[in-house]
Amino acid sequence: MIRSIITGTGHYLPKKIIKKNHFLRQTFYDNKGLKIKKSNEEIINKFQEITEIKERRYIDKGLFNSDIAAVAAERALINSKIYKEKIDYIISAHNYGDIHPISYQSDFMPSISAKIKNKLQIKNKKCRPYDMIFGCTGWIEGMILADQLLRARYAKNILITSSETLSKVIDPYDRDAMIFSDGAGAAVLSAIEYLEDEKHGIIHYDTQCENNEKLYYLTNGPSLNPNYKKSLLNIRMNGRRIYEYALTEVPNMLRSILDHANLHLKDINKILIHQANAKMDYAILKRLLKLYNYTSLNKEFLSKIMPMTIQKFGNSSVATVPTLLDLILKGKIPHHKINPGDTILMASLGAGMNINGMIYRFPKKKKYEKKNTSRKL
């Protein structure tokens, strides 16, 4: 029985820490292009109260999205102990590609996945690079695609990366810019043939795409400051609409995923949710718990089942979930641990509007048979 097993993980966090003092000299505008009359101190403190973001990470000048993705990828490969030439696919989740330092245009050609393969110096011509442009949900969607390829025996080992340099595409005059950050995560997913018919690895998943009237809840646009001409490519977010959509749709979809896997929420050891903003993440979890008639909904209880990194790292889009996963597996998130046999639920929401979720069970220390299950396309 072939199972898709995570054999290695890695991440990259930029060294540059951006605290609230960085924004004290900013001039913030509203959606009508008018200066906000409140003091920056008041704006920043209110933002921090809602999102809980105290710090975020920005990459250094001279680094690109593909650079930090390659670092996370190399660390995942080392952790997996799988030779890089044995990778059959590289699936790269991102949204903006490499950002040109002068024009601020997105650079997708060659693709980020091809650049990662180049930076890793993978010579295997049969290693196919795919880019996954799927909003903040891209890494989980990349894992879903990888699972399908592995189960169909089209591959043995797949590298799934996630990276974003949102500091390059934010509007400095927009309060929402304080949410976003830079980072990269990666995982190696391998086809393992178990001698026993036990459910390990990726168990079940689902994706929902609301691409009609909700398509532009998260998009790009000009600066809120009509006189700012440095970049025409800036993240524009309808936070209220996204919040309402997330609370309505995400808990119900996660409940459906668990039901289809014949699991209950009590079977889940950890919930790893996209680090969008703390208020929204807590609200999603509370709605999910209420679907199962949980009554203990205090913050201490929530923090035990749902580890958070947004307070220190901000929202790095596709990179938040794999970074969080790698940090836990490496013992770098206090009071959180994943043990052999544990089952986790991963979820994300992003531009589109796209949402997805995945159940993953870590293998127990049992014998399994490693053999080449791939076949040529």
pLDDT digits (tens, 9 = 90+) for 322-355: 999 999 999 999 999 999 999 999 999 999 999 9
The closest of 159, 157, 155, 79 to 119, measured between CA atoms, is: 159
pLDDT given for residue 120 in this prediction: 98
Q: Domain 2-194's class?
A: alpha beta
Q: Could you give the angle at the alpha carbon of 314 between the alpha carbons of 18 and 94, nearest 5°?
A: 110
Strand 368-369 vs strand 182-194: parallel, antiparallel, or unpaired?
A: antiparallel
Q: Is the pLDDT of residue 285 over 80?
A: yes
214-233: pLDDT as tens digits: 999 999 989 999 999 888 88
Q: Is the pLDDT of residue 248 over 50?
A: yes
* Contact in structure between 8 and 78 (CB atoms under 8 Å): yes
- Quick one: pLDDT band at residue 195, thresholds 50, 70, 90? low
Q: Which residues pair with 208 in a beta bridge?
A: 355
- Quick one: pLDDT band at residue 105, thresholds 50, 70, 90? confident
Pick the CATH number of 201-361 from 3.40.50.2300, 3.40.50.300, 3.30.70.141, 3.40.47.10: 3.40.47.10
Strand 343-350 vs strand 270-273: parallel, antiparallel, or unpaired?
A: parallel
**Cβ-proximal residues to 21 (8 Å cutoff; 6+ apart), any chain:** none
Q: Is the pLDDT of residue 295 over 90?
A: no
- DSSP character string of 225-252: STT--S-S-EEEE-HHHHHHHHHHHHHH
Segment among 7-11, 279-283, 296-300, 324-328 with least mean pLDDT: 296-300
Q: Is the pLDDT of residue 372 over 50?
A: no
* Contact in structure between 173 and 228 (CB atoms under 8 Å): yes
pLDDT given for residue 302 in this prediction: 80
2-194 and 201-361 have identical folds: yes
Residue percentage of the chain with pLDDT more than 90: 86
Give backbone dihedrals phi and psi of 254, rounded to 5 degrees, phi first.
-65, -40
* C-alpha to C-alpha distance for 177 and 31, rounded to whole angstroms: 13
Q: pTM of this prediction?
A: 0.94
pLDDT given for residue 366 in this prediction: 52
Q: Is the pLDDT of residue 376 over 50?
A: no
Q: Which residues pair with 89 in a beta bridge?
A: 128, 158
Structural domain boundaries of the chain? 2-194, 201-361
Q: Which of 25-29, 112-116, 333-337 has the highest mean pLDDT?
A: 112-116
Element at 303 (helix H, strand E): helix 299-305
**Cβ-proximal residues to 125 (8 Å cutoff; 6+ apart), any chain:** none
* C-alpha to C-alpha distance for 102 and 268, rounded to whole angstroms: 47
